[in-house]
Structure 1
């Protein structure tokens, strides 16, 4: 009970100021490797994220807003994921079958089923949904077929009846199927095929894809010189075709920018180049700490960046990569080397030392 009160306290902190900003992208390599990559931002405090190793046949228990037990299940698949706030809440992960799932903050638009104590045994919270998908399913089609069989409720209900902001979810499989799940209108599940390979935050996914039409003029490269009324007009440098590409950190602008980078970069040759290219693209979405504060005195001192971690997942080869705000070195977990039948449930620190290592080059 004390642990749960602590979790709720953390979530109340997270919902006090809405400033989480996540950017997700999808790449496919020439040799048909499926790559999912994303950032996760929170500029208020550390998200207390860890690496979670969950075995096959692990037993899960959802806890309801009134701290009572909700739906419980025994998982079929082992997975690796990164947690948020509490180790039972997975923000991004991939299972041994290659299914990947992640949650992206969706304030003002997401609207979950109302929590009903009499239906607790068929309910999970939004913070449990990634674990539920990764532990149970191997394909996007299986997720589609089963998501309406459970009630997805808010993790918190406040005294005035209001609820904590929720998320929407990107789900993809090793076959290349890719969807965005949004829950609106008090529990209505909407599923969109993610053909553009991008997801950010609010507004809804359909609005975001429609908004791309406002940037139909953007293109890679430069523009031709021409004369206008006797005035010779020319580009100051490369990239003039992208003039007008939004550079701010709002979700719609990040969505447009991610789509432009994805559609203009070359298709990577293989999984190695796909993962490294994903991290290179997401460099453009790192958010420096403090940009959401009007007063610099309010900026938390313990954070190096609002982008707390970045992940890339090679679904085809079952590989999970990550880097953090403390250490930009890319680290890898190979799921193929984990025996999910025998491995124990584990919580691994993302960082041994919260400091960026440097290597001095000695000149002789």
Structure 2
């Protein structure tokens, strides 16, 4: 249920990418939110304002809801499932910004200029058990946040409090908690891009079958644990890239290793949990790229001055391969 990672080009441009793995059809599309947009909240009548513009995957459900995006200051974030461990408060708190879990991402993108500023303002937030429209459940979420300096953090709210942690590997998946995933990497120190050497067993020399043996033992399933290990390995050893176009291409290839095709991961009720789309967020442009499951053509939306100062949010249709063919 979702994999995310960051990379930085040799020119210093920072990207955050994610898969959206879910069974319920979310129906999102690229949406740009202008400056000073007001969001209603299911927790209170006041809602909250967003001084900064941002673009990401949104859907209008009598008010826009976002699950990922990048803002005009180069802060990017994605919300991922954190079932079984996410913990939220029961009541509103005076003097705090009261939010439902599904509203946190919009507040972050609309209100902070850096991961450092978010760290300073987290104490202002009160995240409550409040259901999201359409799903009608309290969505158990945690968040990965990155800015154009390359600084990347994970935000998790658990029974023992708020955890805002530096992300040293630039990867996040789902439950268990982030610190558990980091500890688990110690089980995979044998992984390497080159082949393992020959081994001697008594009088017999055992030779590796060839390139690729360095990755023997890397988990290949679709659990969050396996996807975390696999993505950390891919991110560490994929060739460096220079341009933004090369970055999106490299991220697409890395996410290929964790993308879930329809039908190979089934829920108990018989519905497929699959990768509905992939998103790539460029923090220096800033720009948002969306690649849906049904047609893997990438739609790019740059956060232009016109979009930032528009009177209303702007929705974008997803491009298709056929549209590009007709254009030629």
TM-score computed with the length of structure 1 as normaliser: 0.81
Q: Distance in 1 between matches of 2:60 and 2:32?
A: 16
Count of matched residue pairs: 320
Q: Distance in 1 between matches of 2:158 and 2:46?
A: 21
Q: In the alignment, is residue 177 of structure 1 matched against residue 151 of structure 2?
A: yes
Alignment of 1:40-79 (within 5 A): 40-43=20-23, 45-64=24-43, 69-79=44-54
Q: In the alignment, is residue 333 of structure 1 matched against residue 301 of structure 2?
A: yes
Name 1:100's counterpart in structure 2.
76
Select the residue among 95, 120, 127 that pairs with 1:145.
Answer: 120
Alignment of 1:341-352 (within 5 A): 341-350=309-318
Please give the per-residue CA displacement for 1:137-158, whole angstroms capped at 9, x wherever unaligned. 111111111122121112229x
Q: Distance in 2 between matches of 1:42 and 1:126?
A: 17
Alignment of 1:305-344 (within 5 A): 306-336=274-304, 338-344=306-312
Say if 1:24 and 1:39, in contact at 8 Å, map to a contact too: yes
Gap change, CA 1:167 and 1:225, over 3 Å in 2: same
Q: In the alignment, is residue 197 of structure 1 matched against residue 176 of structure 2?
A: no
Please give the per-residue CA displacement for 1:225-252, whole angstroms capped at 9, x wherever unaligned. 3442222312223210110000011111
Q: Distance in 2 between matches of 1:312 and 1:108?
A: 28
Say if 1:83 and 1:90, in contact at 8 Å, map to a contact too: yes
Gap change, CA 1:71 and 1:292, over 3 Å in 2: farther
Q: Distance in 1 between matches of 2:83 and 2:277?
A: 21
CA RMSD of aligned residues (A): 2.5
Select the residue among 246, 260, 265 that pairs with 1:273.
Answer: 246
Say if 2:88 and 2:158, in contact at 8 Å, map to a contact too: yes
Name 2:231's counterpart in structure 1.
258
Name 1:23's counterpart in structure 2.
3
Q: Distance in 1 between matches of 2:247 and 2:106?
A: 26
Gap change, CA 1:84 and 1:249, over 3 Å in 2: farther
TM-score computed with the length of structure 2 as normaliser: 0.90
Gap change, CA 1:94 and 1:42, over 3 Å in 2: same
Note the residue ranges of structure 2 that are not aligned, 5 or more in a row.
none
Q: In the alignment, is residue 211 of structure 1 matched against residue 184 of structure 2?
A: yes
Name 2:270's counterpart in structure 1.
298
Say if 1:70 and 1:124, in contact at 8 Å, map to a contact too: no
**Cα distance, 1:166 vs. partner?**
1.1
Q: Distance in 2 between matches of 1:298 and 1:150?
A: 38
Name 2:58's counterpart in structure 1.
83
Q: Distance in 1 between matches of 2:47 and 2:117?
A: 19
Gap change, CA 1:256 and 1:227, over 3 Å in 2: same
Gap change, CA 1:155 and 1:350, over 3 Å in 2: farther
Note the residue ranges of structure 1 that are not aligned, 5 or more in a row.
1-20, 158-162
SS in structure 2 of the partner of residue 285 of structure 1: coil
Q: Distance in 2 between matches of 1:343 and 1:224?
A: 63
